[in-house]
Structure 1
């Protein structure tokens, strides 16, 4: 069994509306491409398409097929067929030397295989378990750090600390969190949620009340009173770029890390979420708001693309995939 795999998980929905059917090919699109280690879905798509997120269309996939996973490995050959007038891709398996069309199927992956995600894992891996949006009082009842045996205000990785007991005695791995700023809708002023700061991780060494923990990782200074939540989230990186099924008109309301200008592979927070029709993998175009000159409103200027990778009810986190200028707070996001 192959040790290294490029795993393209096609699990999103793609609305194949009439205005989205046109595929714009790269002028130098190759007739064939050999998949190599380190490739991503977005990278491979960009070799053939000017709009990489339209990958499922060039494979001629329907919604049922997009929901099922398909796997591509280093050594496989992707072939571009232009003969019918509508460009289509097929896959020539390097291992079995046969051409196959993408179709629904199930494949069991060996746990020792290292799947490579559809977008750069290094760009979002740290953020998947870190940014949180919660209601204002969501952490009130969570276990809290009481302090160390020594009288110290600042704690970090390697320190032994005590904390109040958790409700579930089976939990031994924790995320260390601290309530953060309110996320407000710039359009209505309504509070959409509260961003929770990720500070690190801890492991219970001795259960009880108080319980004794060891801080195993710290990305910020940890203090008495910081809260604990079970570190039980798991993520599959099953993203495929697709257009939202509903019309989206939102804004960038925050940037992870508090930076003012966000470049490629930076994380932004949007004031639209699941209730608005966004899901993981949804692609949105970013626009700079047009200036007003002599009382004339100039049109908005498109500046890049973002892809949603984590969705909450009222907000979502998105990765800046392409940009010809920096993304800033209050930039507009719309359907691509």
Structure 2
């Protein structure tokens, strides 16, 4: 059995302490509060978690760390409502939540911690109004059209989907109020979205197809179900975003989701690339939608925040001694340029959709989306 000296043990122990302290210092630095952070902020209608945290923090995605949230709370957070107050506990370096009334009076079930009034949001609060008035993570109006539409269709999903086989009076396309005839297993559904398979999305690195972005056409509802296997179902077109016709496919209308996940960095290191900008353009700005080549299989979930980078150029070092130039010139890669943040709000197996947050440059296809440093 090997023997270790006391000095060696102290050296190992000291190294462990230094590494722990270094990691803590790094977390503290990247999750630092703004020097001019307010003592408190009263939540108002229209606030978002991202916006509120940006009033206090240099990096809004640090919200879970300074709020003291665990993994379950990040994925299923307690609601925060207009009228409540977010307090900055400067001594503890944390944010706390209180009510606009005196929480110590007992009327709101409040308490005080170090002079900071706080109240624990319980499931009872969450059940009131089903969270409809709660503060959202990011501007909901921008992403709502993307939450209930099947943007990414796996290749196998198209195989057995019900399809439009004919239209009333043989029209090429149908509009609102028109009749469309559908064949396929409705699985007891009555309301459907209509889509058309779009162009394949290719991974910028591997060039492999990672999904098919569907073109959303509108919604239709069942009027009369088929009574035999060789009869078509009759549907009425309810809403139209684009013209629909024979060959277009149906998927059931999903329940309207309430997205209120807390902004947070991914649990594992993520190095993604921008695959496309929604709408077929090549560049995106703030509050626009982009896709990345990472999804559930890569540890991405709703609320994941990534930092946007552009590859640094490779340049020739022209400052070298001229006598060396006759041989060769060194090529040096410049650092990648960090220019913004991305909030992931819809996740598929290999593709995710994100909302471009604060940016200092335009987002381009092929740019990097990495875990926050």
1:20 aligns with 2:27: yes
Partner of 2:206: helix, strand, or coil?
Answer: coil
1:34 aligns with 2:70: no
Task: State the match for 1:106 in structure 2.
Answer: 123
- Measured after TM superposition, the shift of residue 275 of structure 1 is 1.2
Question: Which runs of 5 or more residues in structure 1 are unaligned?
Answer: 1-16
Counterparts in 2 of 1:64 and 1:199: CA distance versus 1, 3 Å: closer
After superposition, the CA RMSD in angstroms is: 2.1
Cα distance in 1 between the residues matched to 2:129 and 2:185:
31
- Measured after TM superposition, the shift of residue 298 of structure 1 is 1.9
- Measured after TM superposition, the shift of residue 205 of structure 1 is 1.1
Bigger Rg, structure 1 or 2: 2
Match of 1:128 among 147, 162, 168: 147
1:310 aligns with 2:346: yes
For 1:183-202, list aligned pairs within 5 A.
183-202=201-220
Counterparts in 2 of 1:66 and 1:104: CA distance versus 1, 3 Å: farther
Partner of 1:275: helix, strand, or coil?
Answer: helix
Task: State the match for 2:63 in structure 1.
Answer: 55
1:301 aligns with 2:355: no
Deviations 1:31-80 (A, max 9, x none): 11111111111111111111111112222333354455322222212221
Deviations 1:291-312 (A, max 9, x none): 2233432221011100111111
> In 2, are the aligned partners of 1:69 and 1:106 still within 8 Å (CA)?
no
- Measured after TM superposition, the shift of residue 278 of structure 1 is 0.9
- Measured after TM superposition, the shift of residue 112 of structure 1 is 7.2
Match of 1:159 among 167, 175, 178: 178
1:228 aligns with 2:250: yes
> In 2, are the aligned partners of 1:21 and 1:57 still within 8 Å (CA)?
no
Question: Which runs of 5 or more residues in structure 2 are unaligned?
Answer: 1-22, 104-109, 112-116, 317-330
Cα distance in 1 between the residues matched to 2:163 and 2:259:
31
Cα distance in 2 between the residues matched to 1:112 and 1:137:
35
- Measured after TM superposition, the shift of residue 283 of structure 1 is 0.6
Counterparts in 2 of 1:167 and 1:76: CA distance versus 1, 3 Å: closer
Cα distance in 1 between the residues matched to 2:37 and 2:179:
57
Q: TM-score, normalised by structure 2?
A: 0.79
Partner of 2:169: helix, strand, or coil?
Answer: coil
Which of 206-215 and 127-136 deviates more? 127-136
- Measured after TM superposition, the shift of residue 289 of structure 1 is 1.3
> In 2, are the aligned partners of 1:179 and 1:196 still within 8 Å (CA)?
yes
The answer to which structure has the higher helix fraction is 2
1:332 aligns with 2:365: no
Which of 24-33 and 311-320 deviates more? 24-33
Cα distance in 2 between the residues matched to 1:112 and 1:314:
31
Counterparts in 2 of 1:122 and 1:68: CA distance versus 1, 3 Å: closer
Counterparts in 2 of 1:231 and 1:68: CA distance versus 1, 3 Å: closer
Counterparts in 2 of 1:102 and 1:285: CA distance versus 1, 3 Å: farther
- Measured after TM superposition, the shift of residue 111 of structure 1 is 3.9
Cα distance in 2 between the residues matched to 1:111 and 1:62:
25
Q: TM-score, normalised by structure 1?
A: 0.87
Cα distance in 1 between the residues matched to 2:255 and 2:365:
29
Counterparts in 2 of 1:275 and 1:147: CA distance versus 1, 3 Å: same
Cα distance in 1 between the residues matched to 2:153 and 2:72:
33
